[in-house]
Structure 1
Amino acid sequence: MEAVILSGIQAAGKSSFYKARLADSHLRLNLDMLRTRHRERVLLAACLEAKQPFVVDNTNLTQAERAVYIEAAREARFRVVGYCFWIDLETALARNALRERRRPVPDKAIRASLRRWEIPRLEEGFDLLWEVRAVDGDFRLTAAERL
């Protein structure tokens, strides 16, 4: 049983990473899709009860935001893995402008997210933490910290 928490600013590649690496094995919790925190809580509770591996595909910018999922997963005896998405602001803005299926996020929102972002740390309750960088249409992972 595994809970995966993605963290990073908009357009950093979180959803693309989920689709490429985790879609076949983990259910996706995403506020863009679910639209309300209530729906997200219901689906999270169902995953925990069913012992269903899941991914929280939101920005998860602060330790407090991530703690909600980490604490619930730990209580249900899930392994908790974090993926920290590194991207420079200019690349994120350029990627955001190319979004096809949805409207781009306002540039000022991406800038504000970068200012708010608290880099995930193992001490938050992760069993494993990865750094992720988008490179040439793929993803390069580096183990950030391990227990």
Structure 2
Amino acid sequence: METIIFCGIQATGKSTFYQQHFFHSHLRISLDLLKSRYREDLFLKACYKSQLPFVVDNTNPGKVDRLKYIQLAKQHKFRSIGYYFQSHIEDALQRNSRRSGKTCIPEIGIRGTFKRLEPPSPDEGFDELYYVTINDNSFVIKPWGYEI
């Protein structure tokens, strides 16, 4: 079983990546959808109890944000796999400007997340870690290589 943990600032392609790579195999857990940590915890418990693989589709910008999910994965004998989405602020702001309605994030929110961003590291406890970039509107996935 797998716990997939996304990390990166808003508008870096995380939700689109989920749709293209995990929609048919993993439940999506997102605070954008669930609106509270209480609801998130209920979904996490259900996934662990039912042995259902899932993706945590949040920004998870800091080590402390990811720690909860990694610890729970280990506790429940799930593999923890991290995907870090290249987080260039200007690219994210440009992509965000093409959004409308609730999907458009205030610039201050993106910049605030960027300030808190700590790229992940295998020593956080990930079983696997990947680096995701967008190239010509398609995703490029590379094994973690400390190239950030």
TM-score normalised by structure 1 residue count:
0.95
1:27, 1:97 → 2: CA distance?
28
Residue 134 of structure 2 corresponds to residue 134 of structure 1: yes
Aligned-partner SS, 1:3: strand
Aligned-partner SS, 1:47: helix
TM-fit CA distance, 1:107:
0.8
Any unmatched runs of 5+ in structure 2?
Answer: none
- Where has structure 1 moved over 2 Å in runs of 4 or more? 100-103
TM-fit CA distance, 1:109:
1.3
Aligned residues: 145
Deviations 1:39-63 (A, max 9, x none): 0000001001111000000000111
Q: Which amino acid aligns with 1:97?
A: S
TM-fit CA distance, 1:21:
0.5
Deviations 1:94-121 (A, max 9, x none): 1111114634111111111111001110
Aligned match of 2:122: 122
Q: Which amino acid aligns with 1:85?
A: F
Q: Percent identity?
A: 43
1:58, 1:78 → 2: CA distance?
19
Mapping of 1:16-27 within 5 angstroms? 16-27=16-27
TM-fit CA distance, 1:93:
0.3
Any unmatched runs of 5+ in structure 1?
Answer: none
TM-score normalised by structure 2 residue count:
0.94
TM-fit CA distance, 1:6:
0.1
